[in-house]
Amino acid sequence: MNLLILGANSDIAYAVGKKFAQHEHADICLASRDLRLLEKKVQDIKIRYRVNAEALFFDAVDYASHNDFFKKFDPKPDGVVLAFGYLGNQQDAQQDFNEARHIIETNFTGAASILEIIASDFERRGHGFIIGISSVAGERGRQSNYVYGSAKGALTVYLSGLRNRLCKSGVHVITVLPGFVRTRMTEGLELPEKLIAEPAEVAEDIYRAYKKPEDIIYTKWFWKLIMFLIRSIPERLFKRLSL
Amino acid sequence: MKLTAWGRYPRIQATGHSFETAEELRGYQEKAGNSIVFAMGRSYGDSALSERVIFTRRFDKILDFDPEHGTVISESGVTLSELIEVFLPTGWFLSVTPGTKFISLGGAIASDVHGKNHHKAGCFSECVRSFELMLPDGNILRCSHEENQELFLATCGGMGLTGIILTVTLTLKRISSAYIRETIVRCQNLKEIFCLFEEHMDMTYSVAWIDCLARGENLGRSVLMLGEHATAGRLNPRTAKIRSVPFNLPGICLNKYSVSLFNHFYYHKNPLFVEGRLVPLDTFFYPLDKIANWNRIYGRGGFTQYQLVLPRDASSEGLKIILERIASSGLGSFLGVLKLFGPENENYLSFPMEGYTLALDFKIQKELFPLLNELDSIVLDHGGRLYLAKDVRMTREVFIKGYPRWKAFSELREKLGMKDKFNSLQSERLGV
Ligand SMILES: Cc1cc2nc3c(=O)[nH]c(=O)nc-3n(C[C@H](O)[C@H](O)[C@H](O)COP(=O)(O)OP(=O)(O)OC[C@H]3O[C@@H](n4cnc5c(N)ncnc54)[C@H](O)[C@@H]3O)c2cc1C
Ligand SMILES: NC(=O)c1ccc[n+]([C@@H]2O[C@H](COP(=O)([O-])OP(=O)(O)OC[C@H]3O[C@@H](n4cnc5c(N)ncnc54)[C@H](OP(=O)(O)O)[C@@H]3O)[C@@H](O)[C@H]2O)c1
């Protein structure tokens, strides 16, 4: 199996890559912006799992480059993990549209651009799977992170549409909705310790979802419950809460 | 965030940073004041605790492996468990390993850990060829016996107080089976077990479990476990499933009656003598790793481990007094571990010296600290010392007497500006 990971410097993505290298003996292509960091991870994966691995430059918001980026693959990947994302800062985003745009483009527009290219290839070949990492933050808008949340919400809807379309060609799309994960993204945030998952635990859930296969997963599992409760609060009440 | 190490005592409020590259780390270090590395938190006390900590868990890439010589280059946050998982199937194992594999490479160096083969193989630093160390000014120096030797000697066993260990080059040991041939001998008392340790000095691995509550004739009754690498058997045995203690047990569960009962059954469960049975490496080296969070059995208040070593010629007398004192206190613990160490090394603060080491777990309780203070004096009177990786309460005086090279260590720290930059709660208590 050839696995392409977009945003491979994400801690979650890297843990997922290791899972596939270990259990599927997959060759891994790590794509992200920081190539020097990727090179270290390439070494690590090669030594740990005795598979092939390579690093490629990829910028999610450089839309014009996406066609060429994907064209170069020969053979084409059998699966794609889309992991890049940017949490940003809600306060800044309210004051400075550039920050808001950066959040929206990294989490959504960039994903839509590259996935459309990959989807049409997978569809044509009737082969492949796509694992998209969205977020529980996209399930309901909250004052503390609605710019990020809305971009993730858009990504979730996009992935669901893509699943609907590609299902007919035997291409499987998995939407991953993580809660809190201990990664660079959440470092320094004061989060409730009991709710935080390790990247390796999330990767385990994602790999299990791939094996099963599952369409939409919450990780850790209890977020399904938490988000059910959060979604069921009537808007009349919800708007008054400080979430 | 709340932070605590393996003994779950003390529990402090702290902030922390993780890093993936040396540049990222340097960025944090330039801005910040004091800190200490918190790696896997398998030290028992406060060696890895401070208001600001540096996490090495994301600095965990294996960068190179030479299958000819078994040389690995890896970042310090990798765990021994990961190294075993990767290299055991190709016939390589750690030449020194402690009783848990869930520690980091950096932690193994910083405590210069020892294993059941100390009498033959020495401490972990024996298999470390070199490492890169980030100093207070952000500069990175390569340290080995050939380069910056003083820093090498101070850092191996230096409890993170000399800088941050980054990339490490270490040598693994060739093996042809993932099994150990184990021999078990039950001993009536201290005299018997001492004789057996001396008699079996040529065995690669040796360690004894000791019943700290046994008294009188039975004082020091123990079960000696000896091992050699097997030559038969596969290199990739199935790893055992890890069970977990899901919550803190109420502190009352451990009292002198339950512990004494446990010890009694443990002793009699082991046959008088077993020779050469094959056991997987994991079972032989890491029996406790099969129960995740076993530290929770001591309840919310936490526990500590008291590990001492006495010079060989003072061991028999000293241990007798110590065991008697513990038995009469009734504060005994499940696991007493006894082992004969080989010669000490040149590192400034490495724990092992030639003689017997005893390690005991104690639940934290009011009566405990006076008892340990008493034991401290017995240890010092016999020329011994305590292990920093387990310690949470020893005084500066006990430290200084036990570690005669502390001064050179402290001066080096002064000279290189480490005292302003790298401190743990422990180092502050010890004033080092
Ligand atoms: C069940 C169990 C069994 C054990 N058995 C043994 C045994 O048989 N023999 C033995 O010797 N020890 C034993 N230990 C103790 C353990 O091996 C040491 O405490 C070890 O240092 C823990 O490593 P860690 O990665 O968890 O480090 P931590 O506990 O997080 O830190 C320990 C010390 O190392 C320093 N440190 C860690 N990484 C770095 C780095 N990259 N750079 C600089 N400093 C660093 C920290 O600052 C701290 O001072 C045992 C512990 C447990 C829980
Ligand atoms: N951590 C959480 O609690 C959490 C919760 C829910 C959802 N998520 C989502 O899970 C995914 C992975 O998150 P993580 O926590 O692992 O994050 P992370 O460690 O912060 O990684 C995000 C990665 O995205 C890459 N990236 C950012 N902008 C990019 C761009 N324009 N082009 C290409 N790559 C880019 C970055 O790598 P380079 O700098 O190399 O480009 C970065 O390493 C994200 O989509 C995130 O939104 C995370």
ipTM, 2 dp: 0.95
Q: Nearest Cα to A177, choosing from A195, A202, A210? A: A202
Q: Whole-number mean pLDDT of chain B?
A: 94
Average pLDDT over residues A51-67: 98
Q: Tokens 């790696």 label which residue? A: B39
Q: Is position B422 within any domain?
A: no
Q: Which chain A residues touch B if contact means CB-CB below 8 Å?
A: 11, 36-37, 40-41, 43-44, 47-48, 184, 187-188, 190, 193
Distance from CA of A57 to the nearest CA of B (A): 18
Give the closest of B18, B58, B63 to A43, CB-based: B63
Which residues contact ligand 1 via a Cβ below 6 A? Answer: B 5-6, 36-43, 47-48, 56, 76, 98-100, 103-104, 106-107, 110-111, 113-115, 159-160, 164-165, 288, 389, 424
Task: Report chain B residues whose CB lies below 8 A from the CB of A190.
Answer: 1
Please, what sign has the CA dihedral across residues A206, A212, A218, A219? negative
Domain that includes residue B307, residue range: 179-393
How far is it, in rounded angstroms, from Cα B315 to Cα B303?
26
Contact A25, A49 (CB under 8 A): yes
d(CA B398, CA B373): 9
Q: What 3-state DSSP class applies to B390?
A: coil
Report percent pLDDT > 90 for chain B.
Answer: 82
Inter-chain contact A37–B21, Cβ cutoff 8 Å? yes
For chain B, what is the domain count?
A: 1
Q: What is the CATH number of the domain that holds B341?
A: 3.30.70.2520
Whether residue B430 is contained in a domain is answered as no
Let me know if residue B192 belongs to a domain.
Answer: yes
pLDDT at B239 over 80: no
- CATH number of the domain bearing residue A96: 3.40.50.720
Query: Domain range holding A224?
Result: 2-238
Q: What is the per-residue pLDDT for B48?
A: 98
Residue B61 lies in a domain: no
Q: How much is the pLDDT for B101?
A: 98
Mean pLDDT score, A60-78: 97
Residue B57: φ, ψ to 5°: -60, -25
* Structural domain includes residue A38: yes
Any domain includes B335: yes
Domain count, chain A: 1
**Whole-angstrom distance, CA of residue B339 vs CA of residue B245:** 28
Domain assignment of residue A164, yes or no: yes
In a domain, B22, yes or no: no
Q: Kindly report, residue by residue over A213-242, the tens digit of the pLDDT.
A: 999 999 999 999 999 999 999 999 999 998
Closest-CA distance of chain B to residue A35, Å? 12
- What is the CB neighbour count within 10 angstroms for residue B330? 14
Alpha carbon of B163 to those of A129, B73, B331, B418: distances in Å? Answer: 46, 19, 38, 7
Flag whether A243 is in a domain: no
- pTM confidence score: 0.96
Side chain identity at residue B228, one-letter code: E
Residue B258 confidence class, pLDDT cut points 50, 70, 90: confident
Examine the pLDDT at B257 and tell me if it is beyond 80: no
Q: Determine which helix (DSSP H) or strand (DSSP E) holds A92, and give its type and residue range.
A: helix A90-95
Q: Count the neighbouring beta carbons within 10 Å of the beta carbon of residue A185.
A: 16
- A44 and B62 within 8 Å at the Cβ level: the answer is yes
| Nearest residue by C-alpha to atom 26 in ligand 2 | A84
Whether residue B63 and residue A40 make contact (CB cut-off 8 A), yes or no, is yes
Residue A53 in any domain: the answer is yes
